[in-house]
Structure 1
Amino acid sequence: MNPGPSVDPAVTDLLGLLAYAELGSFFRLTDDAALAPTLRDKGRLASLAAEEQRRYELLRERLVEYGADPEEAMEPFVEPLDSWHARTEPQSWVESLVKTYVGDGIAGDFYRKVAELADPGTGSLVETVLAEESRGAFISETVRAALEEDPALAGRLSLWARRLVGEALSQAQQVAVARPRLAALLAEDGGGDDAGIGDLAAVTRMFGSIADRHAARLKAMGLSD
């Protein structure tokens, strides 16, 4: 099954990347729910996991509409995303929550910026999939409560958040090198013969442009950069 002739292959790549990311988020939140210390936390995380599953299905359905095989579209991103998660294995439940909010959040900001350079329909879908209000409110509240109970956590979690940003940038660069047609969306003209192809500097500049969202997440959790 191949994408229809009117679909930009870079859009198929973007949707495949997001679909695998959402599928991974579902499994991680399910694991976090099992480890949560209270029934309330278990229930909230289970609800968030169900939301990730719903978003995965939206992306999968859009890929099918475009004539793409969802599994084939996701396959190129299995190794880089799995590698990112292996490099950022949290050491505690609270670290896992910070990773979900900060690490996945800043990666999502990057995907959102790329989607803005695609067609309006893709941009709208990506914005819906990457909405994080429910997740952000729960994690911010939970991390703040943990800091009130143990203020010494603040320094460690701030360092952890900084590391996650660096690893997210590394992940984005790896994907840009592996999928040049996706990186081509970073070109100002929408992608010429070589503009934006594997342009790691463009990836870095884009990360710099999403610093405000990152700072807002840290502030919401009571952490500093």
Structure 2
Amino acid sequence: MFPKFLRSTLPSMKESPGVVDLLGVLAYAELSAYARMTEDAATLAPSLADRAALSELAVTEYAHFRLLRDRLAELGADPDAAMTPFVGALDAWHAQTRPTDWLQALVKTYVGDGIALDFYREAARLLDPSIAKLVDEVLVDEGRSQFAVERVRAAIEAHPAEAGRLALWARRLVGEALSQGQQVASARPELALLLMESQQEGHTDISRLFAKLTEAHNKRMAAMGI
């Protein structure tokens, strides 16, 4: 049997702390992505066209944050309180994976953010359809893949030696992302429950989830040519 909050038509904060945790961590992730992309666009983009493209993605991330914030309020939760438990882990992730150049920023946008968003998407798989639909909406790619893949592949074609450097960077990103995910899940039991229940019945070992996330990460690496 799944917990009641996985079957309710409109989960309340009291019935479903895991839902509030999920929307809270996702809201802060989107707000952080907006701030980071804005900074990277201003400081690392090599051209005005690149700056504009990344800034446009940042605006989309902020719109997603607003959707999540509003849904938290509808559920009777304080959005700030829902996000606060995750500030430390997400800020630490960004501090530990701060890109030093444009290509690193692109790899982080596609590979690093990608595996983190896969983590949240898995947690929403068995939720009430209205919540699952919202999560899918805010996790839509919005051109992130094409934007990053095209530019990184072009850079590697022009300078093949970049492939090795960026591959090392991507491995560091996935290691830090999985570590962050484990910290978040262990600190918030209700959120961990969502993640475990999203796997096949009888397989509640969260390591199974991380293996699945790593597989998706490897596909992204291949798409970028690293």
Q: Contact 2:17–2:190 at 8 Å: present in 1 too?
A: yes
Map Cα deviations across residues 27-52 of structure 1 (whole Å, 9 max, x no partner): 11101111211111011011101100
Separation in structure 2 between the aligned mates of residue 60 and residue 189 of structure 1, nearest angstrom? 24
Counterpart secondary structure, 2:124: helix
Deviation (angstroms), 1:120: 2.0
Match of 1:60 among 57, 69, 83: 69
Alignment of 1:129-168 (within 5 A): 129-168=138-177
- 2:128 and 2:15 map into 1 onto residues whose CA distance is 9
2:211 maps to 1:208: yes
SS at match of 1:82: helix
Asked if 1:22 corresponds to 2:30, the answer is yes
Shift, 1:127, TM fit: 1.1
Q: Given the alignment of the two structures, is residue 222 of structure 1 paired with residue 187 of structure 2, yes or no?
A: no
- Pick aligned residue for 2:52 from 43, 46, 54: 43
2:183 aligns with one of 174, 197, 221: 174
Contact 2:123 2:198 survives alignment (8 Å):
no
Structure 1 residue 189, shift from structure 2 partner: 8.7
Which of 192, 196, 215 is equivalent to 1:187? 196
Which one is further off, 208-217 or 73-82? 208-217
8 A Cα contact 1:169 1:204, kept in partner: no
The offset of 1:221, in angstroms, is 1.3
Mind listing any 5+ residue stretches in structure 2 that lack a counterpart?
Answer: 1-10
TM, length-normalised to structure 1: 0.88
In structure 2, give the amino acid aligned to 1:57: R
1:74-96 superposed Cα distances (whole Å, 9 cap, x missing partner): 00000011111112122212111
CA distance in 1: counterparts of 2:152 and 2:40, whole angstroms:
14
Show the 5 A alignment for 1:108-123. Answer: 108-123=117-132
Q: How many Å apart are 1:61 and its aligned residue?
A: 0.8
Distance 1:6 1:119 in 2: 15
1:187 counterpart SS class: helix
AA at the equivalent of 1:29: M
Q: In structure 2, give the amino acid aligned to 1:27.
A: A
Cα distance between partner residues in 2 of 1:112 and 1:166: 19
Q: TM-score scaled to structure 2, two decimals?
A: 0.88
- Offset of residue 211 of structure 1: 3.5
Letter in 1 for 2:171: R
Identity of aligned residues (%): 57
Q: CA deviation at 1:149?
A: 2.2
The answer for the alignment partner of 1:70 in structure 2 is 79
User: What CA distance in whole angstroms lies between the structure 1 residues aligned with 2:87 and 2:155?
Assistant: 33
Residue identity opposite 1:9 in structure 2? P
Q: Which amino acid aligns with 1:129?
A: V
* Residues 121 and 149 of structure 1, relative CA distance in 2, 3 Å threshold: same
Change (3 A) 1:89 1:21: same
